[in-house]
């Protein structure tokens, strides 16, 4: 049975369905020796190449849906490559065979906290779709006076440049002096929406941390720049949100060696964090052509 080309590529983890559509439109994909077009469908025995490199087509049965929770630090960008040489969120993730990690949404460069990655591009595509309203919770530190009237307006809704917006909930969470912490939730993922809502009330945001995506929380013990793989129960919670069949397999160990593997993984996380802290501190040089 044939399937849409972008769906096959996304499922195999080469990117989100939207990214694959852009690659097809740019002429980067060929099928059986011919440059592919948007709308093409492929059979299971099709020969697909990306930038001339042959790839393996995977059926739904071949894919084990894996999801990582990553603690994004400030200063990292949500792109695979950056012309300015800035650190990207993909650089610290573990290697994955014959596939790639796909980010579920984005966080801007000055926002830290929970960012999910999956090996299943179809899961990422569905979770990112605007119709899939998933609660996102943020811890926000504001600087300056925040009146009760401003808080009420943020609850009821204000008009931003791309339409009306509001927080589903907004609760004070302590702080000293002019620095106050709040916990806010919303179901949309528009660009810089949390910051823009506060800015609409002339309130400056000095820290922004995503602490929850749906029922998946940022693990308290996870260091910035560290990742952990979600268990099958959490993976299937996300798949249920996306309207996908439950996963029945996992690469997480459940035998007597699980504790040892968890310790090894924890050590890998700490080494990755140290490695990239060192790399970030090292001055970057550019090669000049004579």
Q: Rounded CA gap, 242 and 93, in Å?
A: 23
Q: How much is the average pLDDT of 106-131?
A: 91
Q: How much is the average pLDDT of 54-60?
A: 79
In this predicted structure, the answer to whether residue 136 has a pLDDT above a threshold of 50 is: yes
Cβ atoms of 87 and 76 within 8 Å: the answer is yes
- Domain 136-213 sits in CATH 3.30.2350.10: yes
Give 131: exposed, middle or buried? Use CB within 10 Å, 0-12, 13-18, 19+. Answer: exposed
Residue 40 is a catalytic residue: no
| CATH 3.10.290.10, the chain: domain bounds | 3-54
Q: Rounded CA gap, 246 and 232, in Å?
A: 9
155: tokens are: 């609850």
32, 51, 108, 135: the active-site residue: 108
CATH, domain range 3-54: 3.10.290.10
- Could you read off the pLDDT of 210-235 as tens digits, one per residue? 999 999 999 999 999 999 999 999 99
Return the closest-CA partner of residue 29 out of 3, 4, 1, 54. Answer: 54
- Could you read off the pLDDT of 267-276 as tens digits, one per residue? 555 565 565 5
- Domain 67-130+217-281 sits in CATH 3.40.50.1110: no
- pTM for this prediction: 0.76
Distances (CA, A) of 176 to 141, 149, 209, 274: 11, 20, 18, 32
pLDDT of residue 285: 46
């Amino acid at each position: 049975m044939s399937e849409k080309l972008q769906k096959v590529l996304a499922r195999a983890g080469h990117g989100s369905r939207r990214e694959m559509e852009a690659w097809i439109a740019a002429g980067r994909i060929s099928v059986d020796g011919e440059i592919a077009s948007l709308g093409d469908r492929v059979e299971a025995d099709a020969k697909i190449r990306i930038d001339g490199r042959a790839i393996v087509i995977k059926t739904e049965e071949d894919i084990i849906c894996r999801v990582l929770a990553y603690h994004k630090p400030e200063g990292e960008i949500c792109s695979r490559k950056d012309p300015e040489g800035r650190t990207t969120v993909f650089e610290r993730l573990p290697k994955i065979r014959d596939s790639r990690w796909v980010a579920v949404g984005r966080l801007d460069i000055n926002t830290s906290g929970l960012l999910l990655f999956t090996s299943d591009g179809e899961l990422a595509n569905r979770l990112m779709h605007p119709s899939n309203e998933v609660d996102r919770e943020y811890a926000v530190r504001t600087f300056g006076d925040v009146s009760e009237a401003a808080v009420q307006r943020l609850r009821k809704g204000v008009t931003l440049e791309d339409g009306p917006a509001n927080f589903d909930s907004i609760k004070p969470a302590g702080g000293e002096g002019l620095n106050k912490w709040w916990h806010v939730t919303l179901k949309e993922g528009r660009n810089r929406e949390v910051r823009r809502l506060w800015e609409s009330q002339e309130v400056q945001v000095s820290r922004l941390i995503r602490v929850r995506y749906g029922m998946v929380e940022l693990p308290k013990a996870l260091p910035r720049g560290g990742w952990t793989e979600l268990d099958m129960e959490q993976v299937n919670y996300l798949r249920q949100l996306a309207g996908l069949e439950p996963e029945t397999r996992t690469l997480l160990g459940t035998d007597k060696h699980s504790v040892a593997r968890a310790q090894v993984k924890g050590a890998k996380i700490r080494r990755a964090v140290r490695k990239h802290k060192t790399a970030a501190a090292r001055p970057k040089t550019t090669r000049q052509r004579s």
